[in-house]
Each structure stands twice: as C-alpha cells, then as structure tokens.
C-alpha cells in the first residue's frame, strides 16, 4: 500500500521518508498540486518473511475481543452481492 505525500512534505522529511522506505519497505506516492508525479519504493526485491518468522511476529499479538466475529459478519452482510457474469455457451 502506498502512502500519499506532497512534494513539499517529501522535501521537509526526506531523511525520514528514505529510512521508512529502506528499513520498513514502505512505498510513497508523491503528489504536486494534487497530481501524482512519482512513486518512491525500495530499490531491491521486496523483503520476504518465512512462515516461521511470521509465526514469531504474530505470537505476541492479542486475540480479538468478544464480538469480533459478529462485527465481521455484519461487515460481510453489508457488502453488495456481486453476481458473476454468465459464460457464453
């Protein structure tokens, strides 16, 4: 996901933005006068995480609170139902 920032904001915080790109793998969409002019992203291939590393990162996260499943169900039921297009026969 890209974070939108203005060219002015980039010029004021360039060092911080470059650190976020390098160490966190963040991407930025730079805008000038409301128009997208550039994307700033890591130079190398995206950082990958093994399943073991992911499990280690997730193990200390708290479990969702009560009502979480109900919230998900409410969100899902509020979404419009999409009917897939018919295949020509």
In percent, how much of the chain has pLDDT > 90? 64
Per-residue pLDDT tens for 6-26? Answer: 999 999 999 999 999 988 889
Quick check: is 73 in a domain? no
pLDDT at 87 over 80: yes
CATH number, domain of 30, equals 3.40.1620.10
Domain limits at 5?
A: 1-43
How much is the pLDDT for 1? 75
d(CA 69, CA 26): 30
Quick check: is 14 in a domain? yes
- The answer to whether the predicted template modeling score (pTM) of the entire model surpasses 0.85 is no
How much is the pLDDT for 78? 94
- Going from the C-alpha of 8 to that of each of 17, 24, 41, the distances in angstroms are 12, 22, 18
pLDDT at 85 over 90: no
Quick check: is 11 in a domain? yes
What sections of 1-89 are H helices per DSSP?
7-12, 14-24, 51-58, 68-78
Per-residue pLDDT tens for 45-60? Answer: 777 888 998 899 899 8
Task: Tell me if 30 sits within 8 A of 5, measured CB to CB.
Answer: yes
């Amino acid at each position: 996901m890209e974070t939108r920032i203005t060219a002015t904001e980039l010029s004021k915080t360039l060092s911080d933005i470059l650190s976020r790109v390098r160490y966190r793998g963040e991407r930025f969409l730079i805008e000038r006068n409301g128009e997208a002019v550039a994307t700033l992203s890591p130079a190398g291939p995206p950082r990958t995480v093994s399943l073991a590393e992911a499990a280690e990162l997730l193990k200390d996260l708290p479990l969702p609170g009560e009502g979480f499943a109900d919230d998900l169900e409410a969100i899902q039921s509020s979404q419009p139902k999409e009917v897939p297009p018919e295949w020509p026969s």
